[in-house]
Structure 1
């Protein structure tokens, strides 16, 4: 058995939208605990202003920040991931 380093270009994505509320005005959650959203749309990580500072997201994939190292993408997932809005790493495929 052998291993190999994962290489490529990667972007981060998450779902965005307004929370759905139940009759008691509590946020509705799916069976996995993730908040349900009204009109969900995919957003992409765009910019990081530094540790403890703003992280910006865009709905335009062409403006997404491109990570060239998987480790860097994973590190940013750790900084931006939230239980109500999980962040995913996507590999860029150019047709």
Structure 2
């Protein structure tokens, strides 16, 4: 992650963009942006992750959705069909 942070810093310098102005324009904490650019954050979740995505340091991946619903294999029949013994549900 430190290499990506260094590359982002180089892009800031090359474009002449001020880090503080960029942070304010994107609604991020200036100190947190500087911390991400210094490579001091893991950027796994929360605002530091959002900063890393906005800077192009990490790809944007959508969060996992709901778990797939297990299909219902049983019908409304009693267990007699399965084991030969009638049981009430």
**What TM-score results when the alignment is normalised by the length of structure 1?**
0.24
**What TM-score results when the alignment is normalised by the length of structure 2?**
0.25
Decide which structure has greater helix share.
2
Decide which structure has greater strand share.
1
Larger-gyration structure (1/2): 2
